[in-house]
Structure 1
Amino acid sequence: MLTSPVYSNNEIDDDVTAADIIRTFQRENLNLEERVIVVARRRKILHSACTALKTSYFAWHKSPQIEFVGESADDYGGPSREFFRLLMQEVQSSFGVFEGKTGQMFFNYDQVAVEMKRYYTAGKLIAWSLMHGGSGFKALDSTLFKLMCGQADSAEEFDWHNLPDGEIQDKVRQVFFCQTQEDVDGIVSSLGDWIADCGVPGIYNAAPKDMRRIYGQVIKHYIYFRTADMIAQFKDGMNSCGNLWQIVERNWKVFLPLFTNEQKELARDEFRALFKICWSEEGSNLREREEDTIFCWELLLNSIQEKQSTITFKEMLVFITGADSIPPLGFPGEPRIEFYTQENRRLPFASTCGMVLFLPRGIQEEEELTDLLNTALKGYLGFGKI
């Protein structure tokens, strides 16, 4: 049986950040000097991760060394960021434990998945990603996450459009818009037994003023209490890695952006500030041509900010770093822009390990740079092109 260090579960100050908490967790739980090799196939990331978890030598507290099949790059950070980004996507979409759209996902009610301990595995995979520099899960509905963390959310303002089941949407919509006694009588007649089965027997004696509260109770039943066994197994999976869920729950506010979509998209100034530009000697012909390119680069960033470009900051960040957002701990170094002479290579390229974007010197038009980057992004291996 794997024996790993366990987090001491000491109280943490209210004013700390998620980065502070994760660093403390790493310091007290992880042995980053020891490495565990994880062989991964880009088209089967989830299968690769689950296979790694089953090996006798797997240990969550060791630093994962990701080796993509058919690729020779050493893991100096880029492959790990890429692996965990793709893994979190597949856990959402392919594991059968979540339903709904990204940012408003809920636990799927599946007893077979419980018996197979898939919810446990999902929790363990998310914990593994988070503690080793992943950007977070960023998929759960925020109301669900708060309920999972023991917060007394009334759910009365929950948007019923976010429910994944169309039939359930229709039922709760009727409750949401109930305003008169005639409406209440109609709901009691058509939906009374169903609402009572949701743990709300008070529906039979309800008045119009009670209906918004009843709506919130029905929502909490459907997204939380109905799947309580699944959620408990998920928490156990996260807690199998140093009681990580306990830490998340105790500090839910700072972890909210890492589990839900309650985080603003990367903005131009934030994206721009990430990069150090590696210029040639000032006054040289190379420097002059580099300034031409950066002028077009700045125009492109403006176009992305104003949503006038087919490229997004998220796609660019993935291309350059392997991550789709800035990790809680930041990047282990400073992303850079370097230059090359276009006669030697046409398309821009990137090193995710070094977090370097290579741009051709002498680009004169924003449209030209956009076209080159679009072509490079479409051919990028990280988008599953192999």
Structure 2
Amino acid sequence: HSTVFITSPELLEIKSSRTLANLKSTISDCSEYLIIAGCLRPMTTLCDKDMLVNDLLIYHVIKRVHSPFESFRQGLKMLGVLEKIQLHPDAFSSILCHKPERLSARVLGDLFTIHCLSDVNKVKGVDFWMGYLQDVEGGESAATLEDILVFATGSSSVPPIGFEPDPSVKFLRIKYPVGNRQLNSLELPITKTYEQFKNKMDFAISNGLRLELE
């Protein structure tokens, strides 16, 4: 799990050390950081770095946040809120704990800003796009609403702070849909009929996600 929490350049350098000499040199360069973290220790083998990395993760994830957390806890206690939370945890969970919004055709329709080459194509494109979302929500497609979001953004739910940049749909003269996760965008083909549009969407999304799993 260390790769999930590594954020500091010093920790990354220690983690990536390939020889004992390199490890000792890195530790010497960042000794002040290690002293502050309370993790400075002698290294006798390259394997010692794993224990050091674990100690640093504990420092970053637990020890560093303990003081602010305790201060926050004392503030809640003074106001009488902490006691209420402890007595009625279920009542406060919806306020204090984020739950991803349930995806629907309306949610995705509002989430994606639509861009198009012309007003004529935009009208047809919007109709096809919204019709497809309705079909997906109704189970009349090979894809799911979560699949569409993953295809475009890499995420299966909307983050609490939203996406950056905002998700968008672009209608272009291309053969098949393309998901650009760096831009949170969908590039969709301009087709003559809805059936063509739906088939291309199902094919691109289902096959794209299947290839990722393989």
Which bin holds the TM-score, normalised by the shorter protein? 0.5 to 0.7
Amino acid at match of 2:160: P
Name the structure 1 match of 2:98. 257
SS at match of 1:57: helix
Deviations 1:232-282 (A, max 9, x none): x9xx98534634994898786334335xxxx55212211110111112343
Quick one: distance in 2 between partners of 1:329 and 1:51? 20
Quick one: distance in 2 between partners of 1:320 and 1:354? 8
CA spacing shift, 1:301–1:49, aligned 2, 3 Å: same
Deviations 1:88-137 (A, max 9, x none): xxxxxxxxxxxxxxxxxxxxxxxxxxxx99xxx8xx7xxxxxxxxxxxxx
Name the structure 2 match of 1:328. 160
Contact 1:322 1:382 in 2 (8 A): no
**1:266 and 2:103 correspond:** yes
Quick one: distance in 1 between partners of 2:198 and 2:68? 43
**1:49 and 2:13 correspond:** no
The percentage of counterpart residues that share the same residue type is 18
Contact 1:266 1:313 in 2 (8 A): yes
**1:384 and 2:207 correspond:** no
Runs of 5+ in structure 1 lacking a partner? 1-45, 60-115, 125-232, 283-287
Paired residues, number: 156
- TM-score of the two chains, using structure 2 as the length reference: 0.56
CA spacing shift, 1:243–1:328, aligned 2, 3 Å: farther
Give the CA RMSD over aligned residues: 4.0
SS at match of 1:325: coil
Amino acid at match of 2:193: Q
Name the structure 2 match of 1:350. 179
Quick one: distance in 2 between partners of 1:49 and 1:264? 28
Quick one: distance in 2 between partners of 1:382 and 1:240? 41
Which of the two has greater helix per residue?
2
Quick one: distance in 2 between partners of 1:369 and 1:268? 17
Contact 1:289 1:362 in 2 (8 A): no
Contact 1:348 1:376 in 2 (8 A): yes
Name the structure 2 match of 1:297. 129
SS at match of 1:307: coil
CA spacing shift, 1:244–1:371, aligned 2, 3 Å: farther
Contact 2:113 2:168 in 1 (8 A): yes
SS at match of 2:171: strand
Quick one: distance in 1 between partners of 2:210 and 2:67? 29
Note the C-alpha offset of 1:315.
1.1
Quick one: distance in 1 between partners of 2:198 and 2:97? 35
Matches within 5 A, 1:183-198: none
CA spacing shift, 1:241–1:382, aligned 2, 3 Å: farther
Quick one: distance in 2 between partners of 1:55 and 1:384? 30
Quick one: distance in 2 between partners of 1:292 and 1:353? 27
- TM-score of the two chains, using structure 1 as the length reference: 0.34
SS at match of 1:257: coil
Deviations 1:333-370 (A, max 9, x none): 3211112213xxx21002111111101112412x3323
**1:279 and 2:108 correspond:** no
Deviations 1:190-224 (A, max 9, x none): xxxxxxxxxxxxxxxxxxxxxxxxxxxxxxxxxxx
Contact 2:112 2:166 in 1 (8 A): yes
Contact 1:317 1:323 in 2 (8 A): yes
Of structures 1 and 2, the one with the larger relative CO (CA 8 A, separation 6+) is 1
Contact 2:5 2:61 in 1 (8 A): no
